[in-house]
Amino acid sequence: MAKVLITGGQGFIGRYLAQELLEHGYEVRVLDSLVEQVHGPAAASAPDSVDFIEGDVRDKDTVRRALKDVSGVIHLAAEVGVGQSMYEIERYVSGNDVGTAVLLEALIEQPVGKIVVASSMSVYGEGRYATPDGGLVDRARRSPSRVKAGLFDLVTDTDQPLLPVPTDEMKPVDLASIYALTKYAQERMVLIFGEAYGVDAVALRLFNVFGAGQALSNPYTGVLANFASRLMNGQPPMIFEDGEQRRDFVHVKDVARAFRLAYEQPRAAGHVINVGSGRAYRVAYVASLVAEALGVPHLKPDILMKARTGDIRNCFADIAKARDLLGFEPRYALEDSLGEFAAWVKAEEAKDRGAEMRSQLEARGLVS
């Protein structure tokens, strides 16, 4: 029976992935440092069938111990959060990129046949756009002066509106945050390593992952979890800009299955692959859906009409490549999954730290 190491395997996605692998006959080892911001003061326990090692992926001896007798690695360990990355720069570069470098060096001495790394849709910056005459724009950016004036949508040089369209893997990266930079470095390191050492390497670019079990008190990641935390504390969801920005929300169970498929499918080697739902949702609409699911529809979103440095306007996935190479098809639509999510939220204790997050960003001039 093949044994797989999941770094960051006690995190939100990692716990679902461990269960997915166990159900398909794998042995699972988890390496996780149990960072409080992600796990809370009482870290979730691993299933009895999982071999758990507590430790930091930057610690060489711990990584060597974690790699003993495994046939492959799924590398999830990372600091996650666009806003926070813009001021805790050393933390993000060290945790994400140095951690990946330590892992890869250890793999030279203790080789495996497969490595799959979690990348992010953030590497795209803005998603792909179309001009009014049907041309495609791959490197659209907003001017700071327009954003400051509350004009959040993107336009051409002649002020014609740009239409957001699905983003595929051929779109050039356009890094707009420190977090995006570290995720791109992670995926490139893994793919370069795979080619050099003959290891099947795959990078999955994850879009906005949601589901029961996401950290409810971490305001820097998990849009739905952040909305739910506010709502369960009697506060309206906090939305930057005007709420009309579009995102792709993909269920964590679909993401876990995508990782397993990427691990198993030889055709995926050497590729970067989008993992999303393939659908675009307006953020204010999503906030209203969450409020309705939690039974507090009267708590309307607080639309701030201010933008965070590093945020983008629109990005949603073209998942044709995942369908082709992995046989991946999303099974859990956002609208059909909020009942389960709401039931879990109501059973948890959620600390609302949204105001604290906003204050941290504003104090550093990262909100305009």
Domain with 246 in it: 3-363
- Assigned domain for 271 exists: yes
Cα–Cα distance list, 77 to 65, 251, 306 (Å) = 16, 19, 31
Distant-in-sequence, close-in-space partners of 18: CB < 8 Å, separation ≥ 6? 6, 9, 28, 30, 46, 47, 50
Distance between alpha carbon 168 and the CA centroid of its chain, in Å? 16
Query: Residue 143 CB: number of other CB atoms within 10 A?
Result: 11
Indicate if the pLDDT at residue 43 is higher than 60.
no
Predicted pLDDT of residue 42: 46
pLDDT at 329 over 80: yes
Determine the pLDDT at residue 268. Answer: 98
- 151-160, 164-173, 191-200 — which is least confidently predicted? 151-160
- Predicted confidence (pLDDT) per residue in 109-144, tens digit: 999 999 999 999 999 999 999 999 999 999 999 988
3-state SS string for 174-199? CCCCHHHHHHHHHHHHHHHHHHHHCC
**What is the CATH classification number for the domain harbouring 281?**
3.40.50.720
Residue 151 lies in a domain: yes
pLDDT class for 353, splitting at 50, 70, 90? low
pLDDT tier at 179, thresholds 50, 70, 90: very high
Mean pLDDT, all residues of the chain:
92
What phi and psi, each to the nearest 5 degrees, are found at residue 141?
Answer: -140, 150
Domain assignment present for residue 16? The answer is yes
For the chain, state the CA radius of gyration.
20
**Does the residue 318 lie in any domain?**
yes
In a domain, 309, yes or no: yes
Instruction: Give dist(CA 112, CA 164) in Å, integer.
Output: 40
Is residue 368 domain-resident? Answer: no
Task: Please tell me the total count of domains within the chain.
Answer: 1
Cβ–Cβ < 8 Å for 121, 274: yes
